[in-house]
Structure 1
């Protein structure tokens, strides 16, 4: 086992100062993928076009977009990045110096009921959260009025699958009805973007004309190997460059890229996080190069796996599933 070289107090302080600057810079730096380009150039631009058509009285009734993908695929980060790239979505002051906010975005409570949805929208617009309000009808009349007053034309609800985390079908239907009612504001072409995991697909099976059949759906897929190896390599090179680190040739070879995809279950967001953490570790140790050992150590720390189950160490890594890393100590399920 290699031992990290001793560093002086001054060197340690310099490293920590460097990391304090590097970590936020790296974590907020976008690395657009083909999927994100499709999201921004097609789906979101279509929303912009339809809003303009709607303001002229000729918009399409398809005013809901569902972005559905597994956890860790990077869909939320991609949406936020693309929102910032679209001029029509940016806050502005009108000729009367009134603040207009064309887009608001927030994460749904779990579970997301009608009251929490209404209050979440108010909070996203900068108004007080009112947990004591128990009359959804009155709450949503206020929400509708303020959406128009603030000029909100796009409402983004992240983790929208929480709308289905209720004990009764009536509760699920109520929150969907309230969400649908927001698209019934006269002469106001509000568009709704819901992002979440696979459970959100239930919304497309509803008979409701506005939320189900009038929705467009974008699948946010996991990356696969070797098909997406170029995008995985781009994460490595971009992150290392931001961290001012070198990358050894072996980390850009197929064997390592395949291990990285497997260890992250193909989730783009997880791949980015794994590369970031490895680079941060290299900096912490005072090195100028990120290595396979950094990934191996972080994988073991994350999953608690045995050496024989470490994707970055074993020869036959293709059959290893990270979720089974603790299978040797997990108690068997009791028979009913």
Structure 2
């Protein structure tokens, strides 16, 4: 159950809102509507095509060689989760339903938590995804058969595991082989074979090293997004279409071919560099820039006005996300190509002091605590 589907949490949120003045809800409510909008991309059609292949692969008998696993990989903020969530969410054949008073789930989905193992995955799948409570210390040899049984009982056809790279957080070759065989056991279950979508960071590609996975999987790496006309259209669509604001002239230039002002090449080059050419990071920067413009309206008490979004708003967005002074801000600095991109701070030489955004006073750099096996940085 997601937070949006949780009645108790909805009530708690409404209680918080009841104590806030209407003007305090203007910006968050408008941003919520903006974030609900989605840009149509060519890869949406490709995802639909790949899911169609998974679905139609369930029509016949189990085939050792058919593509029954789709592995989608990309860097953080590449847009993997939003792509899959939207694609599966608009497929009505995958909606949950009830039959004879029993819940049926054509689509089951879950994020894999670190540290993970095949046993943890099966136990979490039973408890959190399928709503079948079991003890946390259940043995793998019991949990996996039970998990397969409950997938059949809920009539799951497609299983989506997000953050699936957490299944590989071990250097034990035996554990990895057990994991690969466990995944295959789900798609090759003679009684109830399912199809699996695994999404995660590029390290998830390691699964393709296992012959039993490689023979049954398709790997789809989500590539980078480049500055150009398409990225310019994203800036215009989100600011003018989704947010109903205007693109400021300070991030535009005159296009002699079109005889009109368009989003500038230099600006989208900075935007792409700041985002590490990751689609999700580009979206985050544009929407955070919109939030900056709306916040300025709120400060001025002009909530009904239309405001433009420009260089200052993108600089504020980058500063908010990364925490850098203006000299290191990709949207302001003349030497921006010499600065680190991908929403990164300027590297700290020799572990010395760093300068926080808006400050000239160095602060001691904290050495991060070492991670234990299977842990992720919070």
Name the CA shift for 1:112/1:311 in 2 (closer, same or farther; >3 Å): same
2:225 equivalent among 223, 235, 244: 223
Structure 1 residue 307 corresponds to structure 2 residue 326: yes
Structure 1's consecutive aligned runs of 4 or more residues displaced over 4 angstroms after TM superposition are 12-15, 57-60
**Residues 177-216 of structure 1 correspond to what in structure 2 (within 5 A)?**
177-207=181-211, 209=212, 211-216=213-218
For residues 129 and 236 of structure 1, the distance between their equivalents in structure 2, rounded to whole angstroms, comes to: 50
Q: Distance in 2 between matches of 1:330 and 1:160?
A: 34
**Is the 1:108–1:157 contact (alpha carbons within 8 Å) kept by the matching residues of 2?**
yes
- Compute the displacement of 1:15 (Å): 4.3
Deviations 1:35-76 (CA, angstroms, capped at 9, x unpaired): 222112x1111112212234xx67963201100111111011
Partner of 2:233: 233
> 5+ residue gaps in structure 1?
1-11
Q: Map 1:316-331; keep pairs closer than 5 Å.
A: 316-322=335-341, 325-328=345-348, 331=351
Superposed CA deviations along residues 134-192 of structure 1, whole A, max 9, x for unmatched, are x1111111111110110101111111111111142222222222222212321423111
Which residue of 2 is the match for residue 34 of structure 1?
A: 42
CA contact (8 A) 1:50 1:60 kept: no
Structure 1 residues 130-149: aligned runs within 5 Å:
130-133=135-138, 135-149=139-153
SS of the aligned residue for 2:70 comes to: strand
**Could you tell which deviates more after superposition, 122-131 or 67-76?**
122-131
How far apart are residue 213 of structure 1 and its match?
2.0
2:27 aligns to what?
19
CA-to-partner distance for each residue in 1:183-213, whole Å, 9 max, x for gaps?
2321423111111111011111112x2x222
Specify whether residues 30 and 72 from structure 1 end up closer, same or farther in structure 2 by C-alpha distance, changes over 3 A only: same
1:268 deviation in Å? 0.8
TM-score, normalization: structure 2?
0.76
Assess, with a 3 A threshold, how the Cα gap between structure 1 residues 162 and 64 changes in structure 2: closer, same or farther.
same
The answer to whether the aligner puts 1:298 opposite 2:298 as a matched pair is no
The gaps in structure 2 that reach 5 residues or longer are 1-19, 253-262, 298-305, 353-378
Aligned length: 313
| TM-score for the superposition, normalised by structure 1 | 0.85
Q: For residue 245 of structure 1, what is the aligned residue in structure 2?
A: 245
The structure, 1 or 2, with the larger RCO (C-alpha pairs under 8 Å, 6+ apart) is 1
